[in-house]
Amino acid sequence: MSDLPTAPGMAASLCALHDVGTCRSCPHLSAPLTAQLARKQARVTRLLADGANPVPPRAWEEPAASAPERFRNKAKMVVSGTAAEPLLGILGPGGRGVDLRSCPLHVPQVAAALPVLAHTITELGLTPYDVSARRGELKYLLVTASPDGDLMVRFVLRSRRHVAALRAALPDLQRRLPTLAVLSANIQPVHQAIIEGPEEIVLTEEDRLLMRLQLPEPPGAAVGGVQEGMARRRMRELPLFVPTRSFFQTNTAIAEQLYATARDWADAAPGAAVGRERLVWDLFCGVGGFALTLAGPGRRVLGVEVSASAIDGARAAARLMRLPEGAVRIEAGDASVLDPGAGAVPDLLVVNPPRRGIGAELAARIEASGVERVLYSSCNPVSLASDLERMPSLRAGRARLFDMFPHTDHAEVLVDLRRDRMTHPNRH
């Protein structure tokens, strides 16, 4: 349970399952979002100020606040119960299924799709997988919605037994879910905690979801009224393709703010708009959120990613954006062993690693390289603090917290690092 104060006069939170203690996914749901965010900011500020390469408290900009509900663009539902009465949600204490179709965090398109999909499970007689008995076929239902309301639905099955039936059900599903863009069966034959298996059988023509993000332009580019606060922010579209088995940020509105902040900070670099073409590397680039946001006149961007499907998505989005030849290159590779100091040194390095951080090897190479500027986007302030410690000559000038997962302690942070030659005056 949260130790944060609840809103005055608030008898119930947004979620009845939270209030009765059946679902504990949102420990701070009963507290006002402003109090949650203030505490999250204080905790992250303290943690990163205490490190050996500290982020000074004055570096923090205003945090990016999320909507309190309807912000999750994806549902990862464990399927339990029976085919006749499936439960879509989580496994509670003792492996008991808890139905989370009413979860207030899902965007409306996901919330509306779940009952339809439960109905399909019943019609097709898809028996939910029983973890303790190791019997049954349907393990998870994974649903993602784009900002336009298009849906990607993936059935994680133990075998291919029901794939033909699922294929036959497609026209009916498309009738009931007219925005269904991608339907697939993921085969996960192994009894293990990893949700997805390596085999994906796509049943629709489309095998990836188009996410058309809207990034706010810098305040100077505002249009409309002249009075303070009246001007409308101009938006720029960032089209990203999300294939079936690749990472995408969970909170679309916060992802838009994250990419826009990285772009604004990169644009504000000294000499950014003049002179020669700047070289930008985006390591752990996924489907290309940072790489494609930063692509533009005067910049040549290289994205590096390990997931083949994410690479395909990023390349397809670059084509869709009709970027000039060579403006963005997305390459397959292990970013954790790259050496940014080996060849043409990038003017700007963006890193957005998984929770474990960039690790000792890459941190040491960045520290020893001539890279002047690093934007580190982290989903784990603890591994971020360790990585900063390994790069003592890169000092944080700016930082911002992004509330990607409200109601939890999860913190997403962007830090703007610049090389401090006083720390290591003999370098480059």
C-beta of 104 vs 286, nearer to ligand SAM: 286
User: What does the per-residue mask of binding to ligand SAM show for 347-376, with x meaning CB under 6 A?
Assistant: -----xxx----------------------
C-beta of 87 vs 213, nearer to ligand SAM: 213
Using the rule CB under 6 A, give the single segment among 13-21, 125-133, 148-156, 299-307 that binds ligand SAM: 299-307
Q: Is 27 in the site for ligand SAM (CB under 6 A)?
A: no
Residue nearest to ligand SAM (CB): 286
C-beta of 120 vs 369, nearer to ligand SAM: 369
Using the rule CB under 6 A, give the single segment among 93-101, 319-327, 333-341, 395-403 that binds ligand SAM: 333-341
Nearest to 193 by CA among 244, 156, 160: 156
User: What does the per-residue mask of binding to ligand SAM show for 231-250, with x meaning CB under 6 A?
Assistant: ----------------xxx-
Nearest to 368 by CA among 331, 300, 302, 423: 423
C-beta of 156 vs 262, nearer to ligand SAM: 262
Tell me how far, at minimum, the Cβ of 200 lies from ligand SAM, in Å. Answer: 15
Q: Is 257 in the site for ligand SAM (CB under 6 A)?
A: no
Sort strands 97-99 and 138-145 into parallel, antiparallel or unpaired: unpaired
Q: Is 307 in the site for ligand SAM (CB under 6 A)?
A: yes
C-beta of 80 vs 336, nearer to ligand SAM: 336
Q: Which of 129, 140, 284, 405 binds ligand SAM (CB under 6 A)?
A: 284
User: What does the per-residue mask of binding to ligand SAM show for 199-238, with x meaning CB under 6 A?
Assistant: ----------------------------------------
Q: Which of 286, 346, 381, 406 binds ligand SAM (CB under 6 A)?
A: 286
Q: Which tokens in the block code for residue 153?
A: 């639905």
In whole angstroms, give the CA distance from residue 92 to residue 18: 12
C-beta of 60 vs 248, nearer to ligand SAM: 248
C-beta of 30 vs 380, nearer to ligand SAM: 380
Q: Is 334 in the site for ligand SAM (CB under 6 A)?
A: yes
Q: Which of 310, 327, 366, 385 binds ligand SAM (CB under 6 A)?
A: 310
Using the rule CB under 6 A, give the single segment among 41-49, 122-130, 139-147, 278-286 that binds ligand SAM: 278-286
Q: Which of 336, 369, 380, 386 binds ligand SAM (CB under 6 A)?
A: 336
Tell me how far, at minimum, the Cβ of 338 lies from ligand SAM, in Å. Answer: 8
So which residues are the catalytic ones? 379
Q: What are the CA-CA distances from residue 218 to residues 224, 265, 417 (Å)?
A: 14, 10, 21
Using the rule CB under 6 A, give the single segment among 93-101, 129-137, 216-224, 285-293 that binds ligand SAM: 285-293
Tell me how far, at minimum, the Cβ of 249 lies from ligand SAM, in Å. Answer: 5
Q: Which of 55, 209, 335, 388 binds ligand SAM (CB under 6 A)?
A: 335
Residues contacting residue 67 through CB under 8 Å, at least 6 positions apart: 253, 406
C-beta of 97 vs 286, nearer to ligand SAM: 286
> 159-196: buried (b, 16+ CB within 10 Å) or exposed (e) per residue?
eeebbeebeebeeebeeebeebbbbbbbbbeeeeeeeb
The binding site for ligand SAM (CB under 6 A) comprises 247-249, 284-287, 289-290, 304-307, 310, 334-336, 352-354, 379
